[in-house]
Amino acid sequence: MPVTFGARPVGPEEREGDERTPEGTYRVSFKLKSDHFDRFLGVSYPNDEDLRRAKANGISKPGGGIGIHGTTGSRAALARAWIRFASVAGVASVWGPTDGCIALTNEDVEALYEIVPVGTRVVIAATR
């Protein structure tokens, strides 16, 4: 399933607003249907390791609000085209249209939303 990440996808999220996607082991913490994201599966970032690393680096706001999501209905076709192109061309690691989340096509996130229960383990790892 092709995906894209944050506007600065190289390196894990370290602080609020850095537009990076966290890397580590998390859980689906909640699920939400929304006009803005179509479907949103909240990810339990920051975890204990993220908080420890942030504290050690003097970061008081490691961020939050990370999830796996689609997009508004009016942008679904454009998002679908970008996600597919970025995946095939290998540019998903250069730029993504989210603020650190994981973006999927609406069709893919809707399928995932239906089969993934809250509490499911999510591993986010770089493929550098």
List, in order of start, the domains of the chain with CATH numbers.
24-124 (2.40.440)
Residue 86 contacts residue 3 (beta carbons within 8 Å): no
What does pTM read for this prediction? 0.88
Angle at 93 between CA 7 and CA 49, to 5 degrees: 75
Each residue's pLDDT tens digit, 72-124: 888 888 888 888 888 888 877 677 778 889 999 999 999 999 999 999 999 98
